[in-house]
Amino acid sequence: MQIEYVRFDNPNTITYIPDMSFMSYLLPDYHKFFSNVPETFKDKYFSRKEMENLFDLKDILNSL
């Protein structure tokens, strides 16, 4: 499930939540600025783009 907006006090006012997946294309290193990963897991964390590259690499290796 993905939440696109939130209603706070006023039921007529809608606050939209920005699409952060689009941010990775605009700012490739945005996760460094807006990271929600705890410091202890930084060495185990991969950005979305890095994961896509790893999946592509896995597909290439499997096809050999």
Q: Determine the structural domain holding residue 27 and report its residue range.
A: 5-63
Question: Does 6 have pLDDT greater than 60?
Answer: no
Token duo for residue 5 = 């907006």
Of the pLDDT bands very low, low, confident and very high (cuts 50, 70, 90), residue 1 is very low
**Nearest CA among 56, 53, 59, 58 for reference residue 24:** 53
Taking only the tens place, the pLDDT of each residue in 17-36 is 555 555 555 555 655 555 56
Domain count for the chain, please give it.
Answer: 1
Which H or E run includes 7? strand 5-7
Q: Can you give the pTM of this predicted structure? A: 0.30
